[in-house]
Amino acid sequence: MLKVFTCAFSTCKTAKLQTTYLPRAFYPLKRSPWRVAFWVVLSVLVLLIAFGADAPVGRVVTVGSSTLLSLLAGCFSKAGEGWVVALAGTTASFFLFWRRRFEASRAVFLVAMTGLLTGAAATIVRSLLGRTRPNSHELQGFYGIWHDSHCIIGKYEFGAFPSGHAATVIGLATAAWLIDRRLGVLTTVYAVLVTWARIAMGCHHFSDAVASAILGIYGAHLVLARLGPSVYCFGEYLQNAWLGRKGTPSQVPNHKRDEPHGQSGALS
């Protein structure tokens, strides 16, 4: 999937990217094998603990069907759907572009795209694992893609692990945090509310949300490192075309390229 998007945004070559202003989040850090192994083992341990906490967390967090909390949970759940993220992200990006806030426009577009990609990855994984949802009438467990002589890919009752909603909003929040701290704070609150709503409504187990957090965080780092430079560079081409400039992004003066990068400057 990443290769498809990389080809779509392959307008800029590596040599030109070196002279283009890019957030630090787009440059992957060199990780030693031991450090990678540490984070993998830690993620597995956290996920195992989350499986053990499914029942007690579910009893505490799940809300009734006729309460104010259930109404709020339903609203937050709707706010985390992929089409909402796509529509809001695209609209905000185009508006900022029209207002000539090009840096902010690129950042918002990339943040929304990151969330959609991590959410899509979660959807693929959950379709293959086939875990039952808490409110399913089937015996709880992982059934894969086949159950009771029927293919269960795409069946609601078997689409719990991980949560597509949670992976979308957590991937989005992680990307926002890495690009701009202020935007990151707002999207983190949004991600927490959506994730809570999915558990409270009985659509997901606690471990589903934890798995989504792991997938969203790691996925956001990968998307920013692989697609971030291409999206930003392609955005500069659009910016130059809008302003009637000629030449590649690396040939057009940009005072921000000479400024030290700050973690909260994308939307300034």
Query: What's the average model confidence in pLDDT over 219-241?
Result: 86
At 121, the pLDDT band (50, 70, 90 cuts) reads very high
Distance of alpha carbon 196 from alpha carbon 224, whole angstroms: 26
* pLDDT per residue as tens digits for the range 15-68: 343 334 456 666 555 667 888 889 999 999 999 999 999 999 999 998 877 788
pLDDT attached to residue 72: 93
What residue ranges do the domains of the chain occupy?
A: 68-246
Q: Supply 198's token pair.
A: 């999915």
For the packed helices 164-179 and 82-98, what is the interaxial angle rounded to 10 degrees? Answer: 30
* Per-residue pLDDT, 242: 82
* The pTM of the whole model exceeds 0.95: no
User: 14 pLDDT band (50/70/90 cuts)?
Assistant: very low
Confidence band (pLDDT; 50, 70, 90) for 228?
confident
Domain spanning 68-246, CATH class: mainly alpha
Which contacts (CB < 8 Å, 24+ apart) does range 181-189 have? 181/263, 181/264, 182/264, 182/267, 183/107, 183/111, 183/266, 183/267, 187/111
Report whether pLDDT(224) > 60: yes
Is the model's pLDDT at 98 over the cut of 70? yes
* Cβ atoms of 109 and 233 closer than 8 Å: no
Dihedral class, residue 266 (left if φ above 0, else alpha if ψ from -120 to 50, else beta) = alpha
Average pLDDT value over all residues in the chain: 83
Mean pLDDT check: name the lowest of 28-42, 180-194, 201-215, 253-267: 253-267
Q: Please list, residue by residue across 28-55, b when 16 or more beta carbons sit within 10 angstroms of its beta carbon and e when fewer do.
A: eeeeeeeeeeeeeeebeeeeeebeeebe
Q: What is the DSSP code string of 162-187?
A: S-HHHHHHHHHHHHHHHH-HHHHHHH
Q: 264 pLDDT exceeds 50?
A: no
More confident site: 241 or 132: 132
Q: Which of 113, 118, 121, 120 is nearest to 92 (CA)?
A: 113
pLDDT bracket for residue 152 (50, 70, 90) = very high
Looking at residue 63, its pLDDT comes to 87
More confident residue, 66 or 185: 185
Confidence of residue 209 (pLDDT cuts 50, 70, 90): very high
pLDDT at 187 over 70: yes
Higher pLDDT pick, 126 / 237: 126
Cβ partners under 8 Å of residue 124, min gap 6: none
Q: Which of residues 261 and 129 earns the better pLDDT score? A: 129
Instruction: Give the three-state DSSP class for 227.
Output: helix
Name the token pair of 149: 């002589």
- Is the pLDDT at 226 greater than 50, yes or no? yes
Q: Higher-confidence residue: 144 or 27?
A: 144
